[in-house]
Amino acid sequence: MLQSSWAQTTPLTGLDKSLANLLHSKQPSDDPRHLWLAALTSHQWGRGHACLDLSTLQTQASALLGWSDEQTAALPADLHQAASTLPWTQGDSSPLVLNQDKDGTRLYLRRAWTAEQNIRHNIAQRLALPCDVPADLQQRLDALFTPASDGEPDMQRLACEVAAQNRITLITGGPGTGKTTTVVKLLSLLVGTSSSELQIHLAAPTGKAAARLTESISNALTKMPADVQARIPTQAQTLHRLLQTNSKATQVHQLATDVVVVDEASMIDLEMMARLLQAVPPTARLILLGDKDQLASVEAGAVMSQLCTGSLLKAQTVTLIHSHRFDAKSGIGQWARTVNADVADNTPALKALWNAAPDWLATLPLQQSIEGDATEPDVTRLQLTSASDPKLAVGLRYGWRNWLALLDAHRPSKTAPAAPCSNAQAVALLKAFTEFCVLCAVREGPLGVVQLNAQVEHALGLGQSAWYAGRPVMVTRNDYALELMNGDIGLCLPGPDGVLRVAFPAVDGGVRWVMPSRLDSVETVFAMTVHKSQGSEFTHVLLVIPALESPVLTRELVYTGLTRARQRLTLWAPQLGVLWNGCARRVLRSGGLGD
């Protein structure tokens, strides 16, 4: 058995050890390295990897496992060599699967192997099927895209051309590169060349991302002819709803569809991608939109990133480069490009950008008007050492000034009760709340989500009770009865009848009111982790870097956090060395889809 004394100096969890011991009890092995391999495969799955990369384990164990040198020293010698004699990889139903090819040796849990193979098979099936291509495709593209004045290739046109000729297409690019605009033009081309009405579905991994896709599609459609607008849907839904999955679902229902567009595809984990590909008929077109440089999914896999950089869909992948939101002079754009730069050391360039950014609190106008100051710099910095610093409260009140002004009438005072909140007022409050957001790299610690939520409540004069007017909450677990998904955000407000309820955005642009007593899994969300912010955008982001080193602080996390900002970004870094080290740390998830 895998003794606790062997593994007590490592981060192996109880689940990892229990799996190894279970396999050993069912089919004993006299080689202790076998138990280590089983536990490490489980451990890597829990860390987001599709498999245990044995080739990398042999040469870079610390980097692969995220362990210290002292922890790695507990591993048996020649561990990788024991994989060939593993008793638990024998047979078609074995709990583990060993795969050896030109790219190395990988050890999978059966569920991960099955998901990866289903993805490969489905993609191969789509690529083998012929695709109807309009004979006048180039002329139609000419009508949709005007030639670039600088002579540079139009990547949006190329993306549209590739998608028109394939049953699966990946379109990747940073914020503001025109992914949604490209898709709307593609859909207009497809509906214009189809002899029958196309069944089109739009989806995203979370409710927030679906709402943003709905808004983006609606805005882009206003520039299209009326007959095209009538044939293209604007309402996006969550992937869970599209695939009719819930906590008890085991069977995948195939969709009656011709075209499926999925935004924020980098958030889709390995098993969800397998379900998606299984649900979309091979004869339909599947277009995946996303940013391959963002954080990978919370669950295991880095499907979008691996497919975009691997050979499997190389000819079906188009990268949009030109940002229409962040031009060459944009500070946010410069930070995004520098953090993401494929160079040996980006620290000198990052230091130059930091030194060029003014102090956020020094830029605040003396009179905190509702409109604010239009000349505020788009990137500022903050170097307070503590979240309890009174100066932080000034900045927080300024960031949420518009929301606080709207909320004031709906909070009880000594002289007047709280005014009931209409649906329209709730919509306005939800929108105003997203003008500012605090994003953290970590949940716990002095500059983590938990501590900062308490500090923000205190700074804004809120939080005197568990439920109060203005409390923002995030759903932390899917609730299919209430049709609320993990990541959905609502505001506690006095409803039209004056009773405190939580207003959640509705799919029709209105709100849905839910009694607080019905919400079992929610948390206050003035501050949220960068992971939870994926699929969202905010006018102004305060990105909080912890004062102590953390393995979760990576280049992908910093890039994802700062690109949540539409107009203004404030970087709070008490210890600059932690920021530089984080930007140098990459997330490299193991898997076989990048071959």
Q: Residue 40 is part of a domain; what is its CATH number?
A: 1.10.10.1020
Mean pLDDT of 337-358: 88
Do 344 and 432 lie in a common domain? yes
Do 182 and 238 lie in a common domain? yes
- What pLDDT is attached to residue 298? 77
CB-based contacts of 473, cutoff 8 Å, min separation 6: 489, 490, 491, 492, 502, 519, 522, 523, 524, 525
pLDDT single digits (tens) 135-180: 888 888 888 888 766 666 788 888 888 988 899 999 998 887 888 8
Last residue of a domain, one of 45, 74, 109: 109
Query: Is 443 within the bounds of a domain?
Result: yes
Q: Is the pLDDT of residue 521 over 80?
A: yes
Do 243 and 337 lie in a common domain? no
Do 295 and 357 lie in a common domain? no
Last residue of a domain, one of 81, 109, 137: 109
Q: Is the pLDDT of residue 592 over 70?
A: yes
The H-assigned helical ranges of 222-346 are 226-229, 239-242, 270-279, 303-309, 331-340
What b/e readout covers 446-464, taking b as 16+ CB neighbours within 10 angstroms?
A: bbbbebbbbbbbebbebbe
Query: Is 570 within the bounds of a domain?
Result: yes
At CA 428, angle to CA 427 and CA 432, rounded to 5? 120
Type and span of the H or E element at 355 = helix 347-356
pLDDT band at 370 (very low <50, low <70, confident <90, very high): very low
- Residue 524, φ and ψ in degrees, nearest 5: -60, 140
Do 485 and 524 lie in a common domain? yes
Domain that holds residue 165: 129-320
The H-assigned helical ranges of 106-238 are 110-128, 137-144, 155-164, 179-193, 207-221, 226-229
Do 102 and 164 lie in a common domain? no
Do 220 and 339 lie in a common domain? no
Q: Is the pLDDT of residue 408 over 60?
A: yes
Q: Rounded to an integer, what distance in angstroms lies between the CA atom of residue 206 and that of residue 264?
A: 9
Cβ proximity of 295 and 562 under 8 Å: no
What b/e readout covers 475-499, taking b as 16+ CB neighbours within 10 angstroms?
A: bbebbeebbbbbbbbbbbbbbeeee
Mean pLDDT of 493-521: 88
Query: Is 417 within the bounds of a domain?
Result: yes
Q: Is the pLDDT of residue 391 over 60?
A: yes
Last residue of a domain, one of 254, 285, 320: 320
Query: Is 589 within the bounds of a domain?
Result: no
Q: Is the pLDDT of residue 111 over 50?
A: yes
- What pLDDT is attached to residue 503? 93
Q: Rounded to an integer, what distance in angstroms lies between the CA atom of residue 562 and that of residue 556?
A: 10
Do 101 and 136 lie in a common domain? no
Query: Is 124 within the bounds of a domain?
Result: no
Token match 């490969």: residue?
Answer: 120
pLDDT band at 386 (very low <50, low <70, confident <90, very high): confident
Do 182 and 301 lie in a common domain? yes
Do 437 and 311 lie in a common domain? no
Query: Is 123 within the bounds of a domain?
Result: no
Q: Rounded to an integer, what distance in angstroms lies between the CA atom of residue 199 and that of residue 132?
A: 16
- Residue 438, φ and ψ in degrees, nearest 5: -105, 120
Q: Is the pLDDT of residue 99 over 80?
A: yes
Structural tokens at position 50: 């599709």
Do 452 and 533 lie in a common domain? yes
- What pLDDT is attached to residue 243? 86
Q: Rounded to an integer, what distance in angstroms lies between the CA atom of residue 293 and that of residue 557?
A: 9
Q: Which CATH number goes with the domain that contains 133?
A: 3.40.50.300
Do 304 and 354 lie in a common domain? no
Which has the closest alpha carbon to 183: 286, 268, 273, 308? 286
- Residue 542, φ and ψ in degrees, nearest 5: -100, 105
In the chain, the number of structural domains is 3
Q: Is the pLDDT of residue 75 over 50?
A: yes
Query: Is 297 within the bounds of a domain?
Result: yes
Query: Is 285 within the bounds of a domain?
Result: yes
pLDDT band at 333 (very low <50, low <70, confident <90, very high): confident
- CB atoms under 10 Å from CB of 235, counted, come to 15
pTM confidence score: 0.85
pLDDT band at 536 (very low <50, low <70, confident <90, very high): confident
Q: Rounded to an integer, what distance in angstroms lies between the CA atom of residue 410 and that of residue 407?
A: 5
